[in-house]
Structure 1
Amino acid sequence: MPGAVRISPTRAARAVNLLRTVQFTHPPSCPCHSNPSHHHNHGATTIHQAKRALATPIDASQQKEYAFEMAASSIRFGPGVTKEVGMDFKNLGSKKVMVVTDSTVRRLDAMKQVIQGLEAEGVAYDVFDKVRVEPKDSSIKEAIAYAKPYQPDAFLAVGGGSVIDTAKLMNLYTTFPEADFLDFVNAPLGRGLPIQGKLKPLIAVPTTAGTGSETTGTAIFDLVSKRAKTGIAHRNLKPTLGIVDPLNTRTMPSAVHASSGLDVLCHSLESWTAIPYYERTPRPTNPINRPAYQGANPISDIFSLNALRDTVKYLPRAVKDPEDFEAQSKMLLAATLAGVGFGNAGVHLCHGMSYPISGQNPGYKHAGYEVDTPIIPHGVSVAVTAPAVFKFTGASNPERHLAAAEAFGVDISNVKKESAGEVLSEALAEFLLKLGDQPRGLKDLGFTREHKDSRPCFAR
């Protein structure tokens, strides 16, 4: 049209549009945390909404969501509850339990408590202790191959998020032994098929305070052939029970406390600032199509904001003093709270950008991690972009970003709404600096201009 003027979108519009793309597109942009329409036990049949007998039919694709649904694993929290796990499996009627752990946790007291509990109740078990930190598809397949001949009727994961996620997938592929590995992997990297049936009981005993994997139906790994992090997301993957025992995190090195805690920080911040559930389109035509990650909602808000406040307060203490057992206990509970929050609201840009960062590691090895191969811990890869992310997203919901800044101790009484993102960004940058030993950008991780391309996942 002659004389037409193109108006640039506002900062708020740009932020909202990008958040909407990450959270609400189908399939979602995040290859790890979404398997749209396949979070319940049903087939892939699509049920279409009937049209009105009027001149103008309802356009279901434009109808916004009007409801949200909460789901989480059962959680037992308390010092010493690990020893109850044998009774739990006996109560479940389990006869053969596959215990999943890694070589480090195998030597710790958490495993001793688990073994004593199983043996005291006469529950048979076998131990797989070769879980890889930040698992790859090859290590997942090795674990599955180990479990299949044993034919367990239940699983027990003792370790961090890598262990719990590996156990989830061992459970999945022993329940469906004929499935191809990519069948359930989130599209577009995998086929994204639904999990049509319940899995075997899985009890998760976290020994790190970070992923919240004991509460969620998500399992993450590196798909090496695609140089990408991806995963499987489905409500049926959720552990039957999470045994959250503060005694089990007392052996965590400070570096692991820090990186795990940064995952909690971003889980809570991202779910707190996610686009609200009622802005999602299309409205599902059947409740079985309602995904687990639905957007911020009044229940997830409670978990996310409390987790954020506790992380800001207790993570520096837990990192600084390995004998500060109160801080360690509070961080473990914060990880679980954040898991419930983001497990229902979802995450957005920090997590979305973390996968190419960790999946394309140019050789960085994080200080304090006793591993033989290069590693960018998940919490580090998530947090390194956080100051830039929340500076950008501030315009999408200034009130939420100011409330988050207040959780960091910022006096927001005289802060203008248009400065919300910048204020939260500065608070985050200062928090990371004081925490110590954290990379301050992609350059610190070994990335150069040659590693960057036009995709926004590498924007600084």
Structure 2
Amino acid sequence: MAGRDRIAHLLRQLEKAACRCPAHSNTYHQGAGAAACTVRKTDYAFEMASSNIRYGEGVTREIGMDLQNMGARNVCLMTDKNLSVLPPVKAVLESMAQNGVNYKVYDQVRVEPTDTSFKQAIAFAKNDCFDVYVAVGGGSVIDTCKAANLYASHPEADFLDFVNAPIGKGKPVTGVLKPLIAVPTTAGTGSETTGVAIFDFEELKAKTGIASRALKPTLGMVDSLHTLHMPERVAANSGFDVLCHSLESYTALPYNMRKPCPPNPINRPAYQGSNPISDVWSRHALNVVAKYMKRAVRDPEDLEARSSMHLASVFAGIGFGNAGVHLCHGMSYPIAGNVKTYRAKGYNVDHPVVPHGLSVVLTSPAVFNFTAPMCPERHLEAAEILGADISRVKREDAGPLLADTLRQFLYDLQVEDGLSAVGYTKDDVPDLVKGTIPQERVTKLSPREHTEEDLTHLFEASLKLY
């Protein structure tokens, strides 16, 4: 009898000490106040999430019917000043008019949005009672529209409530948002597939964002005709975003090595680490970039190449939207946020700007040379996809090979010669490092741990590329 009591006592003790995450306990409680995982320190699961995607040449003409099918009574259409007079927006407006859809247009979206421009769009959305949102444009427009939808649906929320920690409070989104249809006009951000909205936080001179699956567009309408209106450098910089989305998500820390194990699935981040599903999308996107990007940049009338890059943006969006990105993106945010006088060619803006894709790709040779020791096979595979001969390459040479392959790719596409070409010097490096440190949402997904000294070396190595 005493032995039986002792066994019962031991079982009770084990139950108290057991891991509370769903992988190890059938007594796991679903409430937000559930105890954190006490045994397992890393996650054990990943979640696949993406918007519905409709692809086709001229598919935009269906949008009025979609809105009618949704029973939309008052639609908010968001775009920017440049796009407002171009065929993509005209096609959307014509379709809505033909189907009797009531709408209002907000065309004040800022290219490379800031917290100020987000708040202006949010105020517009809150000033009316919209039941559906439509975003026509690149990542800046789609991200702005996501934010407007989020805060109009949570009118009592403070702006920093949903902004990623540690800059914001990083609260989970618990309310229901209105439907959002995204019509991407660039082949780069993949924002039509993800629950992420990025902006420049002016106070810190660095980008941050909001990340929640709740922000995902209801539908992404990928119309290949819209990419024909991209100027050459816009096509190039958009494509570099696809390139880095693919490379970073494929080489990101594996999902089952990411900390912490969430106590509740609502706390599992949108960016979860590389996983078997995201790997498929990321790898395929990289193959498409290797085959079509140079053609798409050099010939704006090459519909096959431009439409292929449009799809590659979607593929990479699904990949990184679930796996996440790491150092190239984390380091890009202060590069864009601290811009002084540089204005990229092909962008009709009234303010200095380092386009997102350019700010990301300028550090890519240094970054992948740094991360390669942690997963050399993946870095070698990426180099091979981009055209390198790996038949006689040792694992320890994966980093230098991928870095050299990327430099040649960028040189062929006439990319500026490093950070110095967009206005930065060695004296700016401490500020760039300072702006990278808060980007934990992405930098912690680097497969290789890093210090401030490492970041300093990476920025210094990126001042010149060739």
What is the TM-score when the length of structure 2 is the normalising length? 0.85
What is aligned with 1:175?
153
**Distance verdict in 2 for CA 1:388–1:196, change over 3 Å:** same
1:213–1:339 Cα contact (<8 Å) kept: yes
Moved more, 182-191 or 130-139: 182-191
Q: 2 CA distance for matches of 1:44 and 1:376?
A: 44
Q: 2 CA distance for matches of 1:185 and 1:64?
A: 24
Runs of at least 4 residues off by over 6 Å: none
Match of 2:120 among 142, 145, 157: 142
CA shift, 1:94, in A, is 1.2
Q: 1 CA distance for matches of 2:132 and 2:31?
A: 27
- Residues 417-446 of structure 1, C-alpha deviations (whole Å, 9 max, x = no match): 00001100000000000011x122221111
Residue 207 of structure 2 aligns to a residue in which SS? strand
Matching residue's letter, 1:48: A
What is aligned with 2:429?
452
Moved more, 318-327 or 286-295: 286-295
Residue 229 of structure 2 aligns to a residue in which SS? coil
Q: 2 CA distance for matches of 1:451 and 1:281?
A: 32
Residue 192 of structure 2 aligns to a residue in which SS? coil
CA shift, 1:46, in A, is 3.5
Matching residue's letter, 2:47: E
Identity across the alignment (%): 57
CA shift, 1:449, in A, is 2.4
Matching residue's letter, 1:316: K
1:44–1:194 Cα contact (<8 Å) kept: no
Matching residue's letter, 1:398: P
What is aligned with 1:157?
135
Matching residue's letter, 2:139: G
CA shift, 1:163, in A, is 0.3
- Residues 322-359 of structure 1, C-alpha deviations (whole Å, 9 max, x = no match): 11110000000000000000000110010010011111
Where do residues 187-336 of structure 1 align in structure 2 (5 Å cutoff)? 187-336=165-314
Match of 1:104 among 72, 82, 85: 82
Matching residue's letter, 1:441: G
2:80 matches 1:94: no
Residue 225 of structure 1 aligns to a residue in which SS? coil
Q: 2 CA distance for matches of 1:210 and 1:382?
A: 12
Q: 2 CA distance for matches of 1:228 and 1:375?
A: 13
2:206–2:335 Cα contact (<8 Å) kept: no
Q: Could you list the runs of 5+ residues in structure 2 that have no partner in the other structure? A: 1-29, 434-451, 462-466
Q: 2 CA distance for matches of 1:319 and 1:447?
A: 26
Match of 1:407 among 385, 410, 415: 385
What is aligned with 2:368?
390
2:418 matches 1:431: no
Match of 1:376 among 333, 342, 354: 354
**Distance verdict in 2 for CA 1:459–1:448, change over 3 Å:** closer
What is aligned with 2:329?
351
What is aligned with 2:418?
441
2:24 matches 1:47: no
- Residues 107-147 of structure 1, C-alpha deviations (whole Å, 9 max, x = no match): 11111111111112211000001111001111111112222
What is aligned with 1:56?
none
**Distance verdict in 2 for CA 1:44–1:331, change over 3 Å:** farther
Q: How many residues align?
A: 408
Residue 155 of structure 1 aligns to a residue in which SS? strand
CA shift, 1:67, in A, is 2.0
CA shift, 1:195, in A, is 1.4
CA shift, 1:395, in A, is 0.6
1:263–1:378 Cα contact (<8 Å) kept: yes
2:59 matches 1:72: no
Q: 2 CA distance for matches of 1:354 and 1:363?
A: 17
2:274–2:324 Cα contact (<8 Å) kept: yes
2:172–2:267 Cα contact (<8 Å) kept: no
Residue 150 of structure 1 aligns to a residue in which SS? coil
CA shift, 1:286, in A, is 3.1
Matching residue's letter, 2:426: R
Q: 2 CA distance for matches of 1:46 and 1:315?
A: 48
Larger RCO, structures 1/2 (Cα 8 Å, 6+ apart): 1
Matching residue's letter, 2:257: E
1:204–1:243 Cα contact (<8 Å) kept: yes
Residue 197 of structure 2 aligns to a residue in which SS? strand
2:199–2:209 Cα contact (<8 Å) kept: yes
**Distance verdict in 2 for CA 1:218–1:321, change over 3 Å:** same
CA RMSD across the alignment: 1.5
Q: Could you list the runs of 5+ residues in structure 1 that have no partner in the other structure? A: 1-42, 51-58
Match of 1:126 among 104, 115, 137: 104
Residue 278 of structure 1 aligns to a residue in which SS? helix
- Residues 266-286 of structure 1, C-alpha deviations (whole Å, 9 max, x = no match): 000000111111222333333
CA shift, 1:293, in A, is 1.1
CA shift, 1:49, in A, is 5.4
Matching residue's letter, 2:302: D
Q: 2 CA distance for matches of 1:268 and 1:287?
A: 26
CA shift, 1:66, in A, is 2.4
1:220–1:229 Cα contact (<8 Å) kept: yes
Matching residue's letter, 1:427: T
